Amino acid sequence: MFLLVKNADLYAPEALGRRDLLAAGGKILAIAPHIDADCLPGEVEVLDAGGRILAPGFIDAHVHVAGGGGEGGFSTRTPELAVSDCFRAGVTTVVGTLGTDGVARGMENLVAKTYGLREEGLSAWCYTGSYRVPSRTLTGDAMKDLMMVEPIIGVGEVAVSDHRSSQPSLQELARLASEARVGGMLSGKAGIVNFHLGDAPAAFTPLEELVRSGELPRSQFLPTHCNRSPAVFEAALRWAREGGLVDFTTSTIKRFIDEGEVTVGAALRRLREAGVPFERVTCTSDGQGSLPRFNEAGEFAGLGVGSPASLWEALRASVLAEGIPLAEALKPATSSPAAILKLRGKGRLALGADADFVLLEPGDFRISSVAAGGRLALREGRLLMKGRFEA
Ligand code: ZN
C-alpha cells in the first residue's frame, strides 16, 4: 500500500516548495514536483494537501510517558501517556523519562511503556535513570543500559540546582556523564545526559564546572527547563553561545508566565538575535508531568498534566507572535532533536527517512493531518489511530 501526498508546500524542515511525497513500508520513497498515482504498482491512498504545509512529524524528547508527578503524595502521581494525545499534537516520536520518583517508578515500567507505545504506532525511546544520583537503572549500570537495551539512548532526567535533586557531588555527575558518553560511543547512540534544571539562580554552575574540568564536551549535556525563570534563561543563553545545547519546556500555565517564566517564543527570538543556531536547540512538552490548576480567583483548584499539544502550540506561537520563520521554528521539534539524540530516520523529510509527517494549515499553522510510520494517524482532524484502551 502506497501513501501519496499531493500538492504540498514541503518543509524538510527547510523550505523546498511545492512537492509530492510518496511513502510505503514506513519509509519515504520519493519526493518530487509531480508523482503520478497511476504509475505505481499497487494500491495507493492519496492525500491531496491542497497547498497545505508538509513538515516532519514532531519529536517530543522529554515526556513522562509512564506517568510522573507524585510530589503532593501518592494520589498526585500522574497517569500514563495516551498515544492519541501525541497524534493529535503532530508528535510521532517521543523520548520517555522517569522524573522525581525513582522509587515507586522504575525502568522496567518505562521500557515496557516505550515498547507499548511502539506497538501502538508511535516511535519511542527513553532515558535511563531519574532525578536521583546514583541513577536507578534497568541493569544496575547506566553504561550497560545504553549498550544492551535498544530503546535507551541516554541518561536522565537528572536533577541539579533543585531542592528535589539528590544534591549530587561534581564527581558523581562526572562519573555518570562519562558512563553515558562511553555507553553511547560503544553502542552508536547519543549518550546524552538530560539535566533537569531547578530554580536555583546558579542553575548552570554544575554543568559549567563539568565542562571546565576539560574532559567532557559541552555537547554531552542537554539541560531542560531552560526557560523556567529569567535568571535560568540568561544562563542558558550564555551556555548556548558557548556551544551548549538547550531545551525549552513548552507545557505551562498562565501563572508561571506571570511569575516570570520565559515563553518559548521569546526564548527562541532571543537565541536567534544572539546568533545561536537552532541546531543546538530543542523544545519538549514535559508531557504527563503534573501542573497545578488555579481558578479565576487565583486559588488552587487541583492538578492537571502537561500535554504534547503544548509543543506545536508554543512553536507556532513563535512564528505568529515572534516572527520566527517557519523553517526555523520547526527545527527544535524535528531535525535538531533527531540529530542531537541520533534518532536515525527521524526529524527530516528526505529519501529513505521514516514516513512521519504533519500537514499544517497555511496561515495559522494548525495541524490538519498526521502520518506515523507511513500510516495516517489523523486525517483532516479525524483521529484514525489510538491506544488499545482508548475509547
Ligand atoms: Zn524536569
Of the candidates 127, 157, 128, the residue with the CA atom closest to the CA atom of residue 141: 128
Residues 329-375: tens digit of each pLDDT: 999 999 999 999 999 999 999 999 999 999 999 999 999 999 999 99
* pLDDT value of residue 298: 85
**Cell of residue 202, nine digits:** 546558579
* pLDDT value of residue 353: 98
According to DSSP, the β-strands at 44-48 and 382-383 are: unpaired
CATH topology of domain 58-340: TIM Barrel (3.20.20)
How far apart are the CA of 379 and the centre of ligand 1, in A? 33
Residues 141-191: tens digit of each pLDDT: 999 999 999 999 999 999 999 999 999 999 999 999 999 999 999 999 999
**Which residues are known to be catalytic?**
286
Average pLDDT over residues 106-135: 97
Q: Residue ranges per domain, the chain?
A: 2-55+348-383, 58-340
Instruction: Give the number of other CB atoms < 10 A from CB of residue 61.
Output: 33
How far apart are the CA of 172 and the centre of ligand 1, in A? 19
How far apart are the CA of 82 and the centre of ligand 1, in A? 20
* pLDDT value of residue 241: 97
Handedness of CA 29, 56, 359, 116 (dihedral sign): positive
What CA–CA distance (Å, rounded) separates 188 from 34? 37
CATH code for the domain defined by 2-55+348-383: 2.30.40.10
How far apart are the CA of 378 and the centre of ligand 1, in A? 29
